Each structure stands twice: as C-alpha cells, then as structure tokens.
C-alpha cells in the first residue's frame, strides 16, 4: 500500500539568501590540458543540499568533489525518482564569468520535479547555488574557443525503502565539468537516423521532463543508429509514428521554403532553452517561424521539391548542431549538399556571441557570476 504523503517545500522569508557553508579541498587537482572532450573531467568541488519531509531543503554546502555514500535500498536505484539539468558557464571576453539563462533551467527543474513528485527548489535558491559553485571553481572555466564549464545539477531520492512510493528524503547536487565540443564533429553536419521502431515518449508520460529514464529509453535506438553510421536518433510520435518530435539530446528545426519550423511542444517533447532562444532570435530577425506538427512525409516531399533548405538541432551541450543527412527507412535525404547552412551558422555565432559577451544581449539572457 502506498504511504500517502504530500511533498512540500518550507519557504524562508522572501529574498533571504541561502547560507551556503563552503569547505575547500586541501588537495586541488591539476587543471586539464589539451582536448577536454565532454563530461569526463570534474572540478574540485560540488554543491550539496538535503531535503527532509517536514523540514524542507536544508544544509546547503559546497564540499570537495567526492563519491556519494548511499544505501543500496535508496529509492533512486529502484524506481528512478531523479532528475537532472544542464547549463554552462563561460569566460567572457571581458574576463568576467557568465551563465546563460539559468532562471530557465530553474523553472524547468521544477516542472520536472512536479511530474516526478520531487520537492520544488525555489528558483532564486537554485540560481544562487549555481552561481556559488561556479564562483568557487571559476579557475576551471576553460578559455579556448568552443569550450565552457558544463554544469550538471541533479536531484536524487535517497530514502532507503523498497516500497513504490514518494521518497521522504532527497539530495540536490551540482557538479561541474570543463568541456570541449559535445560532438567530435563540432559544427560539421551530422547524420540523423529517423527511428520508426522504438518509441521514446508519449503525451501524458514524461517526455517533457528532464529525467534519466527518458534517456535510458533512447539507448537501444542510439546503438542501432551508430552501428549504421549515424550519430543521433530523431524520434517520431509514439501514437501514429509519423510526426517528428525531437533528437535524442536536442530539439530539431527545419528551414522549409524560407520558414523556420519546429515541432510544437505537446507534452512529450523537452522544452529546450536553446530552442526557445532560437525561436526568439529568428522572430527578432523577421524570419517566419512555425511551431506545429511536422510529418516525415512532409520532409521527404520538401526535400524532393528542393524546399528543405536546412536542418539543425539545438541544445545546451551542442548549441547548434547542423544536420547533413536524414535517413528514414530506405530514404536518405542529403541536406544542403551536406554542408552547414547560413542560418545554422548565424544562429551558432549569435548564441555563442551573446554567451561570451561579444554581441549585444538585448534579451537579458546573460547572467554574471561575481
């Protein structure tokens, strides 16, 4: 029988900052040199905050990076009650450190938390925690072109209990990883496999949530695509199996006959922050944009008629990922002669230019870390 509980957050007085205790490492690591890769190198410290039912979030702290100690019965291992986020810190051309739209990550965290019965983290606390850990490890922010400090906030259920229920305890953790390009190909157009067998998500499920189960569900199709020489999987809707949804780690955009088109958010698609930024930029530039259903048949027909001008993915890790080839069953569609398109290049240059302080931040997206 489920133990009926209400997950809630005890709020402090408005605008009261977290009292974050900082314990510095006594054995700092050597900073990496050369190719950073993605997600395999970690900084000296991490942020941790606990949640206890009836108390709320408490004991925020920054401690030396270390392994976690959890019971084998911790509920995260058995029922997957966890979530994660991804954002980046950048060293601006002015020497200051910046984040890109961290408030959007905080909001999306709580949208995911609501779906998974994880207690909400006050958005101002979330952003403060991100700023604090980046400030402590700011010397780890790389400065080579195309590099950044990847930030991975995540929340796990820690209660040792084998019943199917909502955990009474959680940990909110943030780790940092100096990283290069997400894809080894950089801005070289990639090949995408349109999956028509496996299904990633359906409306009413967790497709919009940033949770590990969504990504684990994508691995079998990803292996199949890799084995056939394709780097990513493009998912179709889980009901009719004909409408485009998203790539495994990105949202997807098409430039069709002069219009910028992307699948509408329908509950099974992740509401990407870079996706939102790209739509705002395109509209600001006067480009017609559409958020709607897009069928595979429409893409095939547009390509045959010479109207499929560009295809690109968007996401925090890759920013903009041009697509040079789409495969659906026996149809292989070559996009733009396999070269990066002018809109993809302009969007990449603009987003990264704003992130690094090279271009005007007219939308107020860049947030300084003091």
Task: Summarize pLDDT for 78-93 with one digit per residue, the tens.
Answer: 999 999 999 999 999 9
Q: What is the pLDDT of residue 338?
A: 86
Q: What is the pLDDT of residue 15?
A: 55
Nearest one of 85, 80, 72, 91 to 144, comparing CA atoms: 91
Q: What is the pLDDT of residue 181?
A: 72
3-class DSSP state for residue 281?
A: helix
Distance CA 250, CA 281 (A): 18
To 5 degrees, how large is the angle CA 339–CA 344–CA 346?
Answer: 120
Structure tokens at 362: 């007219």
Distance CA 297, CA 278 (A): 25
Structure tokens at 307: 């109207």
Q: What is the pLDDT of residue 4?
A: 38
Distance CA 349, CA 36 (A): 21
For the chain, the straight-line distance linking the first and the last C-alpha, in angstroms and rounded, comes to 49
Q: What is the pTM of this model?
A: 0.93
Asked if 159 contacts 168 with a C-beta cutoff of 8 angstroms, the reply is: yes
Distance CA 137, CA 63 (A): 11
Return all residues near 154 (Cβ < 8 A) that are at least 6 apart: 82, 83, 84, 85, 172, 173, 174
Nearest one of 363, 254, 364 to 309, comparing CA atoms: 254
- Strands (DSSP E) found in the chain: 21-22, 45-52, 56-64, 82-84, 87-91, 97-100, 148-157, 169-179, 190-195, 232-236, 244-247, 251-256, 259-263, 289-292, 308-315, 319-328, 331-334, 366-369
Alpha helices in the chain (DSSP H): 75-79, 102-116, 123-136, 212-216, 219-227, 273-284, 296-304, 342-355
3-class DSSP state for residue 206?
A: coil
Structure tokens at 172: 């909110």
**Burial environment of residue 100 by CB neighbours within 10 A (0 to 12, 13 to 18, 19 or more):** buried
Beta strands at 56-64 and 21-22: parallel, antiparallel or unpaired:
parallel
Low-confidence ranges of the chain (pLDDT < 70): 1-15, 182-186
> 21-179: what fold?
D-amino Acid Aminotransferase; Chain A, domain 1 (3.30.470)
DSSP 336: G
Q: What does the domain layout of the chain look like in residue ranges?
A: 21-179, 190-355
Q: What is the pLDDT of residue 186?
A: 63
Q: What is the pLDDT of residue 10?
A: 46
Q: What is the pLDDT of residue 249?
A: 82
Q: What is the pLDDT of residue 48?
A: 98
| pLDDT tens-digit readout, 327-350 | 999 889 999 888 899 999 999 999
Q: What is the pLDDT of residue 328?
A: 94
Nearest one of 230, 343, 321, 308 to 272, comparing CA atoms: 321
Distance CA 252, CA 265 (A): 12
Match 């509401």 to its residue by tokens. Answer: 271
- Of the CATH numbers 3.20.10.10, 1.10.10.60, 3.40.190.10, 3.10.129.10, which one belongs to the domain with range 190-355? 3.20.10.10
Return all residues near 179 (Cβ < 8 A) that are at least 6 apart: 36, 37, 38, 39, 41, 142, 147, 148, 149, 150
The answer to whether domain 21-179 and domain 190-355 are alike in fold is no
């Amino acid at each position: 029988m489920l133990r009926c509980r209400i997950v809630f957050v005890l709020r402090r007085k408005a605008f009261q900052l977290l009292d974050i205790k900082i314990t510095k490492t006594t054995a700092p690591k050597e900073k990496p040199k050369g190719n950073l890769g993605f997600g395999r190198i970690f900084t000296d410290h991490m942020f941790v905050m606990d949640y206890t039912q009836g108390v709320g979030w408490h004991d925020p702290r920054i401690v030396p990076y270390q392994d976690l100690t959890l019971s084998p019965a911790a509920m995260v291992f058995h029922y997957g009650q966890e979530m994660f986020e991804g954002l980046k810190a950048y060293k601006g051309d002015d020497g200051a450190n910046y984040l890109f739209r961290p408030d959007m990550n905080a909001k999306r965290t709580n949208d995911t938390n609501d779906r998974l019965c994880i207690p909400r983290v006050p958005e101002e606390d979330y952003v403060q925690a991100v700023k604090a850990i980046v400030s402590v490890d700011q010397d780890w922010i790389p400065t080579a072109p195309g590099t950044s400090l990847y930030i991975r906030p995540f929340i796990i259920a820690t209660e040792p209990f084998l019943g199917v229920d909502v955990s009474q305890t959680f940990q909110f953790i943030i780790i940092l990883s100096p990283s290069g390009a997400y894809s080894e190909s950089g801005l070289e157009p990639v090949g995408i496999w349109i999956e028509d067998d496996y299904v990633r998500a359906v409306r009413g499920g967790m497709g919009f949530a940033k949770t590990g189960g969504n990504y684990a569900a994508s691995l079998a199709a990803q292996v199949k695509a890799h084995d056939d020489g394709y780097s990513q999987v493009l998912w179709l809707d889980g009901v009719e199996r004909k409408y485009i949804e998203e790539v495994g780690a990105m949202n997807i955009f098409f430039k069709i006959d002069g219009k910028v088109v992307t699948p509408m958010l329908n509950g099974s698609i992740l509401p990407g922050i870079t996706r939102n930024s790209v739509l705002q930029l395109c509209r600001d530039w006067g480009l017609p944009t559409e958020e709607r259903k897009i069928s595979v048949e429409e893409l095939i027909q547009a390509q045959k008629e010479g109207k499929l001008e560009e295809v690109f993915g968007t996401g925090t890790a890759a920013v903009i990922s041009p697509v040079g080839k789409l495969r659906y069953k026996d149809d292989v569609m070559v996009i733009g002669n396999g070269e990066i398109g002018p809109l993809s290049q302009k969007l990449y240059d603009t987003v990264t230019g704003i992130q690094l302080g090279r271009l005007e931040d007219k939308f107020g997206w860049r947030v300084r870390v003091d």
